[in-house]
Amino acid sequence: MARMKQLGQWAALVGLVLLVAAGGLTIGRPEWEKLRAALALAGALCLLGALYAGFGEVRAFFARRSARYGVNALVMILLLLGIIALVEAVSYRHSYRLDLTENRRHSLSPQTIKVLQNLKVTVEVTGFFRSDQPGKRVAEDLFKQCASHAKGKFTWQIVDPDRNPGLAKRYGVETYGTVVLDTKTKSEKVPDVDEEKLTNGLVKVTREGKRVVYVMKGHGEHEISSTERPGFSEAKNAMERANYEVKDLVLVREAKVPDDAAILILPGPKNDLLPAELEAVDAYIARGGKVFFMVNPYQAQGLKGYLAKYGITLGDDLVIDRLSRAFGGDFVMPAVFQYEPHPITKEFGSVLTFFPLTRSVDVQSRLPKGTNAQVLARSGPGSWAETTRSEVDSGSVKQDPTDRAGPVPVAAVATVDAAKPAEGKETVRARIVVFGTSHLAANQFLNVQGNRDLFLTTESWHAEEEDLIAIRPKDSRQTPVFLTATQGQLVFWIPVVALPVAVIICGAAMILRRRYVN
């Protein structure tokens, strides 16, 4: 009997050693599957043998009350661990995130999700971060979210450049925090972890070439290189980040819109275009061109008659909106949140935009042959189109019966049958968008509410890149809390002093109560 007991103890020891060895192989040599399975099986058999050898003692042990309590506790612990493992497994396959930040900084934007869902090729993403670098966890979270929407077309890894200098040299990475996007044919480096930059990088590596945007100049338009408040440098940078190439166009000198033009923008001309320039724009539209007219009130009046032949009516007025004060704007900065159904605005919903110093833009009831047109956006119901120029100049406007009551249309879109498609291409339709203001895209107002999104989605529709028409990623915004001196003292005294003292008093009261009651 004693010999059997001794053999059981040795079998138990050997079984534990074999199981530990199998666990070690799982971590150190996962490829040794057969050896690992053999060790695990041998360890389990040894433990069963030990249990058989000491069955009497085991039975006597479990007959004790303390043993039964211990077994019950062990079963409850195992059951709890099983529930936790089940919840983890379910959450891994069906995860859900609730983002309560002000501008949803921890959630992917609709545009990013749309780009990921429409990936045609696999993109391998490598982030070069030190193990102790703060931005590493931010990158991992962003990459995990992207992978969850990409249907297997987005793979990623985090690499320490100090431990993998060869890989860093291969991609030309010289700074920590660089992210490299790589396909079989193209590669793009993103200097830091940022959703917008990552999305633009995905667009660059998955699309062939760049679309060229020409911005007309020579008639007092906004300068695309100007960083002043009326300039268009912010719009230019936004388009370039979205993989467009932006160029100036002096049409009177070129005599035609270049053949490589994907989009032509007229950003608020103050003076009328020459007849030869209008003919060049007509020729561009006739071959399926895409034109974005941004026409301010009381300027370039010749465009009113020009756009009429494409079914668009420009009003001789200025839209006034008293309710815009509630949104932080001015009377001449109408707040727009009513959008007609169209690919440009389908993602906007209740997104607010501002149209500073805008005129009305409407659609004719009877459209020219081969033209389809519709209103794109309207001002609020409390607005009106002021038609009395003297009241506008004096700054004392009031709504008269002759003024058009709101909602007032401030943007319109038209498609025109192309008479002369480009050689080798199928017949296409020209696309025309007209805004009653150019100030929406100026540096001063581009980043106000949804203005930037509206401008860029319009460009995406013009460029026939419908998969990019969505709300863009928002910049992370810090929301610091500013406390007065009194509020600061309350924040200190309540949690640091008052609550601990209250706990101490309650504890002392309970001790005294038990002592005197017993």
pLDDT in tens, 457-491: 999 888 887 666 555 555 554 455 556 667 777 77
For the domain 110-199, what is the CATH code? 3.40.30.10
Give 314-358 pLDDT, tens digit per residue.
Answer: 999 999 988 777 666 678 889 898 999 998 888 787 788 999 999
pLDDT for 422: 53
Per-residue exposure over 202-217, b if at least 16 CB sit within 10 Å of its own CB, e if not: bbbbbeeeebbbbbbb
- Rounded-to-integer distance, Cα 259 and Cα 71, Å: 82
- Rounded-to-integer distance, Cα 299 and Cα 480, Å: 43
pLDDT for 178: 87
Name the 3-class secondary structure at 6: helix
> Do residues 439 and 296 touch, judged by C-beta distance below 8 A?
yes
> Do residues 130 and 176 touch, judged by C-beta distance below 8 A?
yes
pLDDT for 185: 82
pLDDT for 223: 92
Residue 423's pLDDT band, with cuts at 50, 70 and 90, is low
- Rounded-to-integer distance, Cα 324 and Cα 206, Å: 41
Calculate mean pLDDT across residues 187-208: 80
Return the H-helix or E-strand segment holding 73.
Answer: helix 65-93
Range in 49-63, 71-85, 112-126, 447-461 the model is least confident about = 49-63
407 cis-preceded (ω within 30 degrees of 0): yes
The answer to whether residue 284 scores a pLDDT higher than 80 is: yes
In the sheet that 123-128 helps form, which strands lie side by side, from edge to edge? 154-159, 123-128, 179-182, 187-190
Query: Distance from first CA to last CA of the chain, Å, rounded?
Result: 54
pLDDT for 65: 67
> Do residues 442 and 229 touch, judged by C-beta distance below 8 A?
yes
Q: Which two tokens stand for residue 318?
A: 């200025």
CATH 3.30.450 fits 212-314+360-380+410-468, yes or no: no
What whole-number percentage of the chain has pLDDT above 90? Answer: 29
pLDDT for 83: 79
- Rounded-to-integer distance, Cα 199 and Cα 468, Å: 10
Q: Which residue has the tokens 């009651």?
A: 517
